[in-house]
Structures are given as C-alpha cells and as structure tokens.
Structure 1
Amino acid sequence: MTSPNFSIEFFPPKTAEGAEKLRVTRAKLAQLKPQYFSVTFGAGGTTQQGTLDTVVEIQREGMQAAPHLSCIGGTKESIGAILRQYQNFGIRRVVALRGDFPSGYGMGGEFRFANELVEFIRAETGDWFHIEVAAYPEMHPQARSPQDDVNNFVRKVKAGANSAITQYFYNADAYFQFVDEVQKQGVDVPVVPGIMPITSSSQLLRFSDMCGAEIPRWVRLKLQSFGDDTASIKAFGLDVVTDMCERLLAGGAPGLHFYSLNQTIATTEIWNRLTANK
C-alpha cells in the first residue's frame, strides 16, 4: 500500500508581521514533509498578490506550492495572465475553485462555475498543471440536491481535474458515501479529505455555519460542556480528529489535507499521532 499524501493549507498574510509569522510556521510544518503547501485566494481574488507572493516564496524554499485560483469576477484575460505568472515561476499545481462572492458583489465575470475554469486552464496550459478541485461530502450549501452536487463534481473532473480536496467534515461516513457516489458515475480521481483541527469552539461554530459543514451533535454538546476551558477543548479536538483521520486512512482515503489556519501545533500533533500509530 502506498503512503498517503499529506498537504497543508495556509491563507496569505496581509501584513509584514503576518508574513514573518507564516515563515516560522512553514519552517516548522515543513519538518513533517508534506507533499505540498496550498495557499488560499480571497473572495473575488482580493488576496491575489498575497497568494502569488506566498507561493513563490514557498517554491524558492524548495517546497511544492499550490495556489488557489478563484474564477468569480475574473475574465479569461485576467485568469490567463495569472496562469502565465505561475508557469513562469515553475508552479505545477493549482487548486481551481469557483470561489466566494465578495461582500456586495453581484454576478459577473466570464466564468460561472469551477468546471469552466478547469476547462479554461487545460485549454490554456495543456498538462502543465496538476489541477485540484473542491468536493463537498455533506453537499455544497448552494447545491439544489445531493445528486446535483455529485453531478457538479463529475463535470469538474471531466473538464480535466486530476484530484480533489474536500470541504472539512467530522463524519467519515459522509466522505465514504460521496466517494462511492462519484465512482458510480465513472469518476475515479483521488479525493483527499480536508481536515480542520478543533482548537476553538466559537471559531469552529462560526466557520461551520458559513460553509455548511455539520458538527455532529455529540461533538457540539461536548464542546459546549467545556465552556472556556481551552485545554479541554483542544485535547478533545485532537482525539476526535485523530480518530477520524485514522478511520479515513484505514478506509482507503488517499491522503489528508490540513486546514492549518496558519498555526502549527494542532496539525503537527495530529500528524505525529497518526504516524506513531502506524
């Protein structure tokens, strides 16, 4: 059995101080030897320069970097220019997303859906990029139905995606069910679970409300019972997420993609537990 691929996501820093903190974080997480680091892209491309600067810096440090690329509000000309920049810097992997609408932003741009972006990247750059796309085991919050969501994912793969990263979740069954569904549609690309460490109850609730990720009732109630006891929240979170990761890998997940939130401790601890248990 091949070893699972392991990757870590950052968001681009907005200040010089944030950039320096991220360098320290990256240096620590690089010791875990992830396959690559990915860097997010703000709503409507609002962090475009920060994303570019960060991935170029990661690449120069000798790590593989994968910028997120959102097509909302973009034109073929603007997206094409970004792709050429990444090619010039030797970036070989991108995460192609529809992306979120920035506040107050109406429908616009030349791309409506991620499959159109994937098709465009392939037409413009051939096989230069390994293209990752998003998957939603618990259904995208704007999808009309679970089947509609599966169909959307299949379209992205048929447009040229190589693999996928899921929205985070805490129900492994949802992941396995999603993979089964897309495989029935003839799609067999690697679908890597997105993993969100639990370090804060309020942060987790806020993120999950925004993205539609379900927090199982027993996890929610347990977190609430800890109140402001951050040590207990973190200890419980480590146990819950590590157990889920073990089940995912044992069930055939091709790897794990950690949403680090530019922090080191939780991701490092989970990965160390997983490798210690081999």
Structure 2
Amino acid sequence: MRISDLLRFARERGEPIFSFEFFPPKTDDGVRQLFETVEALRPLGPAYVSVTYGAGGSTRQRTLELVKRLKRETEVEAMAHVTCVGASREELAGVLDELADAGIQNVLALRGDPPRGQTSFEPHPEGFRYASELVAFIRSRPERWRFCVGAAAYPEGHVETRDLAADLAHLKIKVEAGADFLVTQLFFENAHYVRFVDRARAAGITVPIVPGIMPFTNVDQTERFTAMCGAAIPPPLRAAMEVRRTDPDSARDLGVAYATLQCAELLRRGAPGIHFYTLNRSTSTRAIVAALRASEPWRG
C-alpha cells in the first residue's frame, strides 16, 4: 500500500502512524536479527519499515534484496531508500525497475551522503546533483514507476545549508517535483519541528511532515550522529546524558523516557505519526510505541 494512503486513512481515523527505519546488516546473522526485530514490532502495528543505503550508496544491492524480502515474507509494508550517490540515470532506472517488478510501491528519494573519505558530495557525471532531480526523474515515467515518493526534511536546516530560508526553498522544489510526504531528520527539541512545520505551511508546502525520532542508547554514538547531521542536543538533555556516559543501561532508559515524552507531545500537537530511527534495535522503540499506544496522547 502507498504510504500516502496509509497517512490519509490514519488521518481520517484520527490516529497517527508509526514506522521504523533499519540499515542493511553486514552479516547473515545480522539479517536474521533484523527479521526477528521486524517480527517483534509487528504486534505494535507498524505502518511500514524502511531500509537505508549505506554511506555513499555502498549497500545498494543489499537494500534492494532486503526490501524485496520484507515485502515478500512479512505482512509489513516496505519502503526502499534510493540515493543519487555514485549512480547514473541508467543505473537508477534499473533500481526503480527492480523495485517495481517486486511490487514495491514506496521509495524515499534522497541525494545521499558523500562516500567515506570524501568531504563534499560530487554527483555522478550522468546522474543527479539534487534529490529534487531524482524525484522529478521518478515522476517522469508514471506508467512504469507509480511509486509513492517520500523525501527528507531538515527542521534545523541541512548540515550543508544552515540558512533556513534557503533550505526551505530547496524543500519546496522537492515537493513541487512530486514528493508525496516528508520525513524529518532526527531532532531532540520539539520546538524545531513545530517552527519548521509552521514555516513550511506558510511557504505553501501541504504534504504530511512526519517527525523522525531517534531513541538514543549510547551517548558517544548519539554525539557522533548529531555532529554528522547537525542536530542540536538541548543543554538539559546533554547534562543528563553526560552523567550516564559510562552506564549503558541508564543511558538507554533515559533515551526511552526522553523519546516517549517527545513523541507524546508531538502527537498531541498534531504530528501525523512518528518515524523511528531504530539503529536496528527493537527494545527501545517497542517500549516507546507500547507506551504511546496505551496512553493515546493524540486523543488528549
């Protein structure tokens, strides 16, 4: 089913959707654990799961195989990430054909991060420089590629474009190219999301904007992620994380508690759902979604 339809049906029922993002494991054991994780999440009613590319598109084929297998073997809708990195138009067309042949209906169209060792993005000579070009390419052959297309949004601005007005202008181009919905970069302060949605609506962007939340489990890892993506850690949270830096259990508990409060407030304020960056772990996200399902803050 198309994610745009899932979002519409959920809105009509007055309920949010929950989705989960995974990265392709490097080993067969990792793949087995991923499918066990998806199976463990199924009782919580996930709307869909997504599978990323590795840095620089390094896991493209593993991503395709995992998405096809998830579609084939589970009862959960799957979305494939597709990036511009290191790919020509012809190669991207082959990826999209493969997804279409497998019955995949949803893709997240991204520019992608530079390959490891490169400091800036360099487009393929026969590829695309911007995600908006990839979205337009997907939309250029609607009879063959009738995908629901998602795109990324950055409440605090893209790490390469801290000018919020310029970043919003780029986002509007993506939406006008044909993006059906948006998923945000992770953030730890809900005010960033609220202000971003207000600015997007004022700019004429009307598609659903789903907040992306990462329940942190490791302080050092979280600091690395936020440094790469440009997300800020609020001072009170940073102080609470610091005293738990060497206590993994306590750090995980804090991550669950903080993300649960974040999600509850976002849903009370009308967010259409939550997209969880799971880091291929289910324990924290299962606890958070179970608490949200039990309390239903969106009805408050």
TM superposition score category, shorter chain reference: over 0.9
Corresponding letter in the other structure for 2:147? F
Specify whether residues 74 and 125 from structure 1 end up closer, same or farther in structure 2 by C-alpha distance, changes over 3 A only.
Answer: farther
Q: Give 2:122's aligned residue.
A: 107
Corresponding letter in the other structure for 1:122? R
Corresponding letter in the other structure for 2:83? S
Deviation at 1:149, TM superposition (A): 0.6
Q: Give 1:271's aligned residue.
A: 289
Q: Give 1:181's aligned residue.
A: 199
Please say if residues 7 and 256 of structure 1, whose CA atoms lie closer than 8 Å, have aligned partners that are also in contact. Answer: yes
Match of 2:109 among 89, 92, 96: 96
Specify whether residues 169 and 155 from structure 1 end up closer, same or farther in structure 2 by C-alpha distance, changes over 3 A only.
Answer: same
The answer to whether 1:79 aligns with 2:96 is no
SS of equivalent to 2:141: helix
Q: Provide the rounded CA distance (Å) in 2 between the counterparts of 1:22 and 1:232.
A: 24
Q: Which shows bigger deviation, 144-153 or 102-111? A: 102-111
What does 1:144-155 correspond to in 2, within 5 Å?
Answer: 144-155=162-173
SS of equivalent to 1:131: strand
CA-to-aligned-CA distance 1:151-205 (integer Å, 9 cap, x gap): 1111100000000100010111100111111111111100000010021111111
Runs of 4+ in 1 over 4 A off after TM superposition: none
Q: Which shows bigger deviation, 224-233 or 112-121? A: 224-233
Q: Give 1:194's aligned residue.
A: 212
Q: Give 1:36's aligned residue.
A: 48
SS of equivalent to 1:188: coil
Match of 2:133 among 100, 113, 116: 116
Deviation at 1:144, TM superposition (A): 4.8
Q: Provide the rounded CA distance (Å) in 2 between the counterparts of 1:236 and 1:84.
A: 43
Q: Provide the rounded CA distance (Å) in 1 between the counterparts of 2:117 and 2:141.
A: 31
Corresponding letter in the other structure for 2:256? L
Root-mean-square deviation (CA, aligned residues, Å) is: 1.3
What does 1:183-262 correspond to in 2, within 5 Å?
Answer: 183-262=201-280
Q: Give 1:69's aligned residue.
A: 82
Corresponding letter in the other structure for 1:114? A
Q: Give 2:4's aligned residue.
A: none
Q: Provide the rounded CA distance (Å) in 2 between the counterparts of 1:135 and 1:189.
A: 12
Q: Provide the rounded CA distance (Å) in 2 between the counterparts of 1:231 and 1:88.
A: 44
Q: Give 1:159's aligned residue.
A: 177
SS of equivalent to 2:239: helix
Deviation at 1:259, TM superposition (A): 0.6
Gap runs ≥5 in structure 1? none
Please say if residues 80 and 124 of structure 1, whose CA atoms lie closer than 8 Å, have aligned partners that are also in contact. Answer: no
Please say if residues 73 and 111 of structure 1, whose CA atoms lie closer than 8 Å, have aligned partners that are also in contact. Answer: no
Corresponding letter in the other structure for 1:38? S
CA-to-aligned-CA distance 1:229-264 (integer Å, 9 cap, x gap): 222222222221111101101111000000111111
Q: Give 1:171's aligned residue.
A: 189
SS of equivalent to 1:37: strand
Percentage of identical aligned residues:
42
Q: Which shows bigger deviation, 268-277 or 121-130? A: 121-130
SS of equivalent to 1:125: coil
SS of equivalent to 1:237: helix
Deviation at 1:14, TM superposition (A): 1.4
Corresponding letter in the other structure for 2:36? V
For normalisation by structure 2, the TM-score amounts to: 0.90
SS of equivalent to 2:171: helix
Q: Provide the rounded CA distance (Å) in 2 between the counterparts of 1:143 and 1:149.
A: 6
The answer to whether 1:17 aligns with 2:29 is yes
For normalisation by structure 1, the TM-score amounts to: 0.97
